[in-house]
Structure formats: structure tokens, C-alpha cells
């Protein structure tokens, strides 16, 4: 890199905006970060757009339109490092439920004149289309993890983002296991760590918004949910939310389509 | 002198939430067209909500918008609790109002400081503003952090809160846990007052709205997390159950958002509408501060919406402090919401305007159909009308100045484009 500060770009595909908002939610660090990097392309925050290529790109959202298919290649070409942020970008998001249904039906439910609407039949993660240098999980992503990933890439080291389960975070917080103690269905054993065990901390079972960890044993988790009294349809639904494609690839039952 | 025939196009609007474009067509010195083009891709929430259990709906609708997830959760709870005939305890209602105050403070601070103020002070963004006026931006970030602190303390997470559910909360905080939050909010109240003082000194272009305004009204308080009636300046008044008899959405070719009309006319929701309809219910401090900033009891200049957002931030901060000081921990964090067959409706005031949800459930509590009408699709016709009028009155400006002015018109409304595009109304115009 040259002596000028490294450039940071933020890109949006189909999403709720929550993951790029996480960057603006770094209230204590935002101005420090802006001193370390040149924010070169971040439409939600600035009218000022500098030409690429960019040192680090953060990509939010999933690929859902014909235009996205070409735009993501442009973003890749313009980015030395491309990091996907959030469940939409890493797994297709909740809008990937369309992958298990009929897109014509979906469009006609929402729009009276579907011919005006340009959309693909699937919602897919960025990594289905281009090479991705790092995937940061979460729906939404965690603020501290985002700062860790940006800092790591700026100095050229590997981000310290453990690929373990929510259970490890729960234990570290000293929380009582909601599943063992109270029989509450909890996806903690199979869900990627990163949130800090937010749900068990309020007595709620994890609902998997960070998606599956590597090596997650989804069939065993499903049997445990059944053992706890969850009907099969409910077991199907609990895996069919923000990371539906990732859970399904690892052995969760078919997602409900209707 | 600019050429008599020209087309202005801003392909990617900046400092708005989501993806939109601006298009202005001038033919022979006459303004032909001014469009806010919304191209944010649709995500089809109403389609895949079908078949979901009533207890999981609010976790899903939250994901419609990362900026105002509490609004999307709240309108969903209200609609589902309406179907099931459940009214939550007063203490739970108070906790919900506190949570929603957090979202107002956080979202308003985001818009005022990071998206809107740069327009008034002549900067591209808050980062470059901070180079010259660091204290201003730091104040905005402090205020935003205070709003997020409420969301984290009560909701368990600032974006897509996890501690919330139909019927109430998973865990109600101890009163002692709210003491540090109150301390932070006392500082935030000073910041909110200073925000209004700063904004009161800005220059505001002249523009008076001619359309109707619509907001939720609550008998006893400035409506935030719900109210008994939806009211308009022109005199409409109806309950949430009759919303779709008055508000109809139409699809237009240049937008993935549907356009809405109220009793066949254009209308506006959001801070100007709330203030104009409900300002008498603001606290004495907020009302005095508003008067000091030059606001009367109503406001219909969209450029002055930044003042109204600042007044609402003062109010929400004060209200959060009141709710904390009067907080009594609910005996149980939530009430049971047994599934029930039927249709229910919910309205609440998202930071950028009225948010309506309608759900139909079967006897097992599985969702059969959903209708969600977000504020920005209601506001899009009003925004385009402003664009037309402002552009028509400023055709003498060169392209760059005219485009910037039109961008400012759009940012006045804090449009949330991400959440405007995913909706249908099953009764839409099918001509």
C-alpha cells in the first residue's frame, strides 16, 4: 500500500441496511476509524465517492437481481480485499426462502404488475459469484467483530473470529444452560459464535441468527429439538430463517415454502 | 443560463437508507417529470411470512429494516395480539414505550447528525464535517449511543432486538439495572437540547406542503408505540382496523415501492404529521424548546423537519427518563398469547412515519396472509410532489445545484428505502 491511508468501500445488495448501520453504530470508534482509513465509497454515509480500486470492501446483502450479477463482479474487480458482512451476504438472508418456493407466486403476492419487477428466482450469497476473502456472520453482525475484521485486514493479519458455537460464549459468561436447566429449545450448540450469547442471557433459546458453525451436527440438533417436544414443522421453521440456505446445506430438513 | 432541455439523473442517492435514484426531465424550459426512483430489490416478506407461527413473526419482520426494527416488531405484536384478543399489562406497555423511545433517539440522531446536518452546513458527510467541527459530530454520536443503550438494555441488542416477543419480553430488567442508563440519558437530554439550538440557526428554504398529514393519536400521550386512532389534518379519524378502507396502495412502474393514497388524496406521515397533529401532547420542556426554535404548534415546511426531529429527540429522551423513574418490574415479563383464528391490525409510529401491519391467522396461529404498509411508500407521492415544486421554482439553477437541492428535498424525509420495497397490499389497484 502507498503512504496515503488505505481506502474503505461499503456496498449494498438485497438487505435491511442493518449490517452497514453497524459501522455507523461504532459511535466510539467511528471518528478514529475515519482517521485511519479513507472512506472512499459509502453511500449511506457520504455523497463523496472516490474512484476505485479500493483496499478493503465490505459487502452487505445478497444477489437477487440480474443487475446484481454484473455489479458483484465489478465490486470484486475494484476490491483488493472483499469482506462479506451479515447473513444476507454470507448465506442469502431470509429472502433466500424464495429459493424453496415459486418466485412467480412470490412476486404476484406482493405486486399487482409483476412485469415491472426485475428479480431472480433465487437469493444467493456473494461467495456463490465471486471469490470472498472473509465472511463475517450474523443477522446483524456484531460491532466488535466488525472492528476486529477491519483492523486485522488493515494491518494484514488474520482476524480473530473463533469458529466455535454459541455454547462456548454462554459458558464463558457463566450463564445457566437454558436447554439443560429449563428445557428451552436452543440452537446454541450448532450456531456460530459472535453475538456473545445474547439470547440465553435473557432466558431465551438461541435462534441461529449467526448461522451454523463449521462442523455443526444439524441432524443431532434436530433430534434434540424433537426430544424437547418441538413438532417437526416447528423444527423445520426454526432452521428456516436468516441463514436458511446454510442450515439446509448442513442437513436441516426442507424449508417450508408456504 | 442552463439549457432549456435537460435531464438530471442522480443514480445513487447518498445519505439515505437503501437504494434510490432521482430523475428530473426538463423539456423546453418546462419541468416534465421529477421522480424518486426506488430500485431497491424486493425481498417478498409478505410471501414468505405465510405459514409462519404467530410467535416467530416479529423476529422476521424486524429484518425488514435495520434502522427501525423496533417499529417492525411493535406493529407486528400489536396486530397479532389484536387477532388473539390480548392486551398486555401496563408495565409491559411502559417497557415497550421505553424501548421505542430508544429507537427514536437513535434513529433521529443518525438522521440529524450523520445524514441531514451536512446539507445545512455544506459538507459531503459527517466525517468531513468532523474535521472542522468535531464537537458537533461527537455530540450526535453520543446522542445516538444513548438511544442504542436503551435498545441494548431493554431489547438485548440495538439492531434486531432479541429480548422482545409477542406478549412482552423474555426478561424484564431489574430497576437497579436501569440506573446507569438514566445517568447516560440525563447527559443525552442536554445533547438533545443543544441539537435543537444548533439546528434553529440553520437557513431553511421556503416550502409549504399542501397535502394532508396522517399520524397515530393516543388519548393520553404523544403517540409512539401505538394509539387508539389514526388521524389526519383534513379530519379523517379511524381505528387501525379501518386503515385499509382509507389507505390504498398502487404500483407504479418506476418503483419497487408501492405508492399509497389516503381517501384518494396524497398525504404525508412522519415527524411533520405527528407534530402537526399531536404537538399539544409534548412535554412542557419540549414545547418550550420548540417555541424557542421558532416552531409554532404545527409545521409544514419539510426543510424544517430537522427541527421537529430534534424536538422529538428531546421528548423521547425525557420520556425515557420518566419511564425509568416510574419503572416497576412486571410480575411476569410477558403474557400468554394463545393462537386464535382471525384478522388483526397494528399501527405504530416508526421514526419516519406510520407503520401499519395486518395479519390473518388460522386457529393454530399460523399466518395466512400479511399486509405491511411502511412509511416511505406512503410518503413517496408527497416527496415527488415536493420535488416537482422545488424543481419548478429553481429551473434557473445549474445541473449540479439543482440536483443537490432535489437531493436535499428527499433527505428531508429520512426515507427508509430498504423497508419501502417489500410490501404489498392485497387490495391493490389491479387496473
pLDDT attached to residue B255: 67
Dihedral angle sign, alpha carbons of residues A244, A177, B96, B15: negative
Residue of A nearest to B145 (CA): A27
Q: What is the largest CA-CA distance in chain A?
A: 61
Cα–chain-centroid distance for residue B50?
25
pLDDT attached to residue A115: 58
Q: How far apart are CA A221 and CA B163, in angstroms?
A: 23
Q: How far apart are CA B422 and CA B372, in angstroms?
A: 8
Q: Which three cell numbers stand for residue A143?
A: 460491532
Q: Compare CB distances from B14 to A18, A43, A207 and report the shortest one's residue.
A: A43
pLDDT attached to residue B424: 31
Q: Does B41 contact A13 at a Cβ distance shorter than 8 Å?
A: yes
Q: Is B160 helix (H, G, I), strand (E, B) or coil?
A: coil
Asked if residue B422 has pLDDT above 70, the reply is: no
Q: Does B141 contact A28 at a Cβ distance shorter than 8 Å?
A: yes
Q: How far apart are CA B54 and CA B343, in angstroms?
A: 12
List of chain B residues whose C-beta atoms are within 8 Å of the C-beta of residue A140: 66, 159-160
Q: Which of B187, B159, B161 is nearest to B173 (CA)?
A: B161
Q: To the nearest whole angstrom, how far is the Cα of A73 from the nearest Cα of chain B?
A: 18
Q: Is B95 helix (H, G, I), strand (E, B) or coil?
A: helix
List of chain A residues whose C-beta atoms are within 8 Å of the C-beta of residue B408: none
Dihedral angle sign, alpha carbons of residues B148, B149, B155, B157: positive
pLDDT attached to residue B426: 24
Contact present, B230 and B240 (Cβ < 8 Å): yes
* Paired residues of B112 in beta bridges: none
Q: Does B163 contact A202 at a Cβ distance shorter than 8 Å?
A: yes
Q: Does B56 contact A112 at a Cβ distance shorter than 8 Å?
A: no
* A1 interfacial to chain B (CB closer than 8 Å): no
B350: Cβ contacts below 8 Å, ≥ 6 apart: B68, B71, B72, B374, B375, B416
Please state whether beta strands B342-350 and B353-361 pair in parallel, antiparallel, or not at all (unpaired): antiparallel
pLDDT attached to residue A217: 95
Q: Which three cell numbers stand for residue B97?
A: 414505550
List of chain B residues whose C-beta atoms are within 8 Å of the C-beta of residue A112: 251, 428-430
Asked if residue B429 has pLDDT above 90, the reply is: no
**What's the whole-number mean pLDDT along residues B181-200?**
98
Q: How far apart are CA B353 and CA B71, in angstroms?
A: 10
Q: How far apart are CA B16 and CA B313, in angstroms?
A: 19
* B240 interfacial to chain A (CB closer than 8 Å): no
How many C-alpha atoms does B258 have within 13 Å on its Cβ side? Answer: 26
Taking CA atoms, B145 is separated from B113, B183, B201, B409, in Å, by 12, 13, 25, 27
Q: To the nearest whole angstrom, how far is the Cα of A72 from the nearest Cα of chain B?
A: 14
Taking CA atoms, B387 is separated from B43, B82, B408, in Å, by 27, 38, 10
Report the complex ipTM: 0.94
Q: List phi, psi (to 5°) of B41.
A: -65, 140
pLDDT attached to residue A116: 57
Q: Compare CB distances from B14 to A47, A101, A198 and report the shortest one's residue.
A: A47
Q: Does A257 contact B51 at a Cβ distance shorter than 8 Å?
A: yes
Residue reference for cell 412485469 = A115
Q: Does B251 contact A140 at a Cβ distance shorter than 8 Å?
A: no
Q: How far apart are CA B311 and CA B271, in angstroms?
A: 10
Q: How far apart are CA B126 and CA B310, in angstroms?
A: 17
Contact present, B312 and B104 (Cβ < 8 Å): yes
DSSP type of residue B65:
-
Q: Which of B16, B161, B8 is nearest to B98 (CA)?
A: B161
pLDDT attached to residue A89: 98
Residue of B nearest to A101 (CA): B48
* A204 interfacial to chain B (CB closer than 8 Å): yes
Q: Is A236 helix (H, G, I), strand (E, B) or coil?
A: helix
Please state whether beta strands B212-217 and B229-232 pair in parallel, antiparallel, or not at all (unpaired): antiparallel
Q: What is the largest CA-CA distance in chain B?
A: 71
Q: For chains A and B, what is the number of CB pairs under 8 angstroms?
A: 188
Q: Does B160 contact A18 at a Cβ distance shorter than 8 Å?
A: yes
Contact present, B240 and B346 (Cβ < 8 Å): yes
Q: Does A17 contact B125 at a Cβ distance shorter than 8 Å?
A: no
**What's the whole-number mean pLDDT along residues B136-153?**
98
* Paired residues of B84 in beta bridges: none
Contact present, B222 and B278 (Cβ < 8 Å): yes
Q: Which three cell numbers stand for residue A221?
A: 440438533
Q: To the nearest whole angstrom, how far is the Cα of A204 from the nearest Cα of chain B?
A: 6
Q: Which residue has the higher pLDDT, B358 or B40?
A: B358
pLDDT attached to residue A229: 96
DSSP A109-169: HH-S-GGG----S--B-GGGTS--SEEE--SS--HHHHHHHHHHHHHT--------BHHHH
**What's the whole-number mean pLDDT along residues B7-17?**
80
- One digit per residue, the tens of pLDDT, for chain A of length 258 reads 446 899 999 999 999 999 999 999 999 999 999 999 999 999 989 988 999 999 999 999 999 999 999 999 999 999 999 999 999 999 999 999 988 877 677 777 766 666 556 788 899 999 999 999 999 999 999 999 999 999 999 999 999 999 999 999 999 999 999 999 999 999 999 999 999 999 999 999 999 999 999 999 999 999 999 999 999 999 999 999 999 999 999 988 654 444
List of chain A residues whose C-beta atoms are within 8 Å of the C-beta of residue B67: 17-18, 21
List of chain A residues whose C-beta atoms are within 8 Å of the C-beta of residue B151: none
pLDDT attached to residue B428: 21
* B408 interfacial to chain A (CB closer than 8 Å): no
Q: How many CB atoms lie within 10 A of CB B43?
A: 33
Taking CA atoms, B26 is separated from B13, B29, B353, B375, B394, in Å, by 20, 6, 31, 29, 12
Contact present, B327 and B64 (Cβ < 8 Å): no
**What's the whole-number mean pLDDT along residues B81-104?**
98
Q: Which residue has the higher pLDDT, B253 or B421?
A: B253
Q: Does B127 contact A34 at a Cβ distance shorter than 8 Å?
A: yes
Q: How far apart are CA A43 and CA A114, in angstroms?
A: 28
* A50 interfacial to chain B (CB closer than 8 Å): no
* B152 interfacial to chain A (CB closer than 8 Å): no
Question: Whole-model pTM?
Answer: 0.95
Q: List phi, psi (to 5°) of A208.
A: 80, 30
pLDDT attached to residue A141: 98
DSSP B38-63: E-PPP--HHHHTTT-BGGGHHHHHHT
List of chain A residues whose C-beta atoms are within 8 Å of the C-beta of residue B51: 256-258
Amino acid at each position: 500500500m502507498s503512504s496515503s491511508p488505505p481506502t474503505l468501500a461499503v456496498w449494498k445488495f438485497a438487505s435491511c441496511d442493518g449490517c452497514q448501520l453497524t459501522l455507523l453504530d461504532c459511535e466510539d470508534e467511528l471518528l478514529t476509524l475515519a482517521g485511519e482509513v479513507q472512506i472512499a465509497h459509502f453511500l449511506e454515509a457520504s455523497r463523496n465517492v472516490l474512484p476505485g480500486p479500493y483496499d478493503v470492501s465490505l459487502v452487505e446483502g445478497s444477489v437477487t437481481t440480474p443487475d446484481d450479477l454484473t455489479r458483484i463482479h465489478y465490486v470484486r474487480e475494484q476490491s483488493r480485499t472483499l469482506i462479506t458482512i451479515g447473513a444476507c451476504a454470507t448465506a442469502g438472508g431470509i429472502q433466500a426462502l424464495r429459493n424453496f418456493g415459486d418466485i412467480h407466486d412470490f412476486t404476484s403476492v406482493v405486486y399487482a404488475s409483476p412485469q415491472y419487477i426485475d428479480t431472480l428466482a433465487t437469493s444467493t450469497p456473494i461467495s456463490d459469484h465471486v471469490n470472498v476473502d472473509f465472511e463475517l456472520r450474523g443477522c446483524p453482525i456484531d460491532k466488535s467483530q466488525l472492528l476486529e475484521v477491519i483492523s486485522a485486514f488493515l494491518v494484514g493479519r488474520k482476524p480473530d473470529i473463533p469458529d466455535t458455537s454459541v455454547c462456548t460464549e454462554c459458558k464463558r459468561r457463566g450463564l445457566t444452560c437454558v436447554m439443560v436447566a429449563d428445557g428451552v429449545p436452543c440452537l446454541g450448540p450448532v450456531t456460530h459464535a459472535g453475538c456473545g450469547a445474547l439470547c440465553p442471557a435473557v432466558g431465551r433459546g438461541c435462534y441461529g441468527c449467526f448461522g451454523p458453525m463449521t462442523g455443526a451436527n444439524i441432524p443431532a440438533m434436530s433430534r434434540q429439538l424433537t426430544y424437547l417436544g418441538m413438532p417437526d414443522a416447528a423444527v423445520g421453521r426454526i432452521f428456516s430463517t436468516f441463514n436458511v440456505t446454510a442450515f439446509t446445506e448442513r442437513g436441516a430438513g426442507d424449508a417450508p415454502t408456504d | 443560463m442552463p439549457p432549456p432541455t435537460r435531464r438530471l439523473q442522480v443514480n445513487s442517492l447518498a445519505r439515505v437508507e437503501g437504494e434510490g435514484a432521482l430523475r428530473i426531465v426538463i423539456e423546453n424550459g418546462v419541468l416534465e417529470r421529477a421522480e424518486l426512483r426506488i430500485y431497491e430489490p424486493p425481498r417478498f416478506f409478505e410471501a414468505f411470512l405465510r405459514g409462519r407461527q404467530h410467535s416467530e413473526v416479529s423476529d422476521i419482520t424486524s429484518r425488514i429494516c435495520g434502522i427501525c426494527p423496533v417499529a417492525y416488531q411493535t406493529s407486528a405484536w400489536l396486530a397479532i395480539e389484536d387477532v388473539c384478543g390480548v392486551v398486555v399489562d401496563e408495565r409491559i406497555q411502559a417497557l415497550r414505550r421505553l424501548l421505542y423511545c430508544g429507537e427514536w433517539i437513535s434513529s433521529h440522531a443518525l438522521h440529524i447528525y450523520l445524514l441531514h446536518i451536512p446539507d445545512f452546513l455544506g459538507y459531503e458527510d459527517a466525517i468531513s464535517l468532523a474535521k472542522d467541527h468535531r464537537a458537533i459530530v461527537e455530540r450526535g454520536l453520543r446522542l445516538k449511543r444513548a438511544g442504542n443503550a436503551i435498545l441494548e438494555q431493554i431489547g438485548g441488542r440495538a439492531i434486531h432486538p432479541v429480548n422482545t416477543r409477542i406478549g412482552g419480553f423474555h426478561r424484564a430488567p431489574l430497576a437497579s439495572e436501569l440506573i446507569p442508563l438514566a445517568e447516560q440519558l440525563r447527559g443525552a437530554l442536554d445533547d438533545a437540547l443543544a441539537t435543537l439550538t444548533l439546528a434553529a440557526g440553520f437557513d431553511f428554504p421556503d416550502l409549504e406542503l399542501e397535502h394532508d398529514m396522517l399520524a397515530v393519536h393516543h388519548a393520553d400521550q404523544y403517540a409512539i408505540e401505538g394509539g387508539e386512532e389514526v388521524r389526519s389534518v383534513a379530519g379523517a379519524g379511524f381505528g387501525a382496523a379501518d386503515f385499509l378502507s382509507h389507505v390504498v396502495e398502487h404500483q407504479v412502474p418506476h418503483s419497487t415501492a408501492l405508492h399509497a393514497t389516503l381517501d384518494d388524496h396524497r398525504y404525508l406521515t412522519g415527524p411533520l404529521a405527528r407534530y402537526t397533529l399531536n404537538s399539544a401532547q409534548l412535554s412542557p420542556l419540549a414545547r418550550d424548546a420548540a417555541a424557542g426554535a421558532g416552531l409554532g404548534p404545527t409545521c409544514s415546511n419539510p426543510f424544517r423537519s430537522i427541527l421537529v426531529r430534534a424536538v422529538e429527540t428531546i421528548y423521547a429522551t425525557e420520556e425515557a427518563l420518566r419511564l425509568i423513574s416510574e419503572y416497576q418490574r412486571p410480575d411476569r415479563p410477558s403474557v400468554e398469547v394463545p393462537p386464535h383464528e382471525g384478522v388483526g391490525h397494528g399501527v405504530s409510529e416508526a421514526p419516519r412515519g406510520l407503520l401499519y401491519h395486518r395479519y390473518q391467522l388460522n386457529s393454530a396461529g399460523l399466518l395466512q396472509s400479511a399486509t405491511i404498509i411502511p412509511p416511505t411508500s406512503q410518503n413517496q407521492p408527497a416527496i415527488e410532489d415536493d420535488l416537482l415544486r422545488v424543481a419548478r421554482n429553481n429551473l434557473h439553477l445549474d445541473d449540479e445545484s439543482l440536483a443537490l437541492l432535489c437531493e436535499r428535498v428527499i433527505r428531508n424525509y429520512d426515507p427508509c428505502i430498504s423497508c419501502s420495497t417489500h410490501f404489498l397490499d392485497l387490495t391493490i389497484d389491479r387496473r
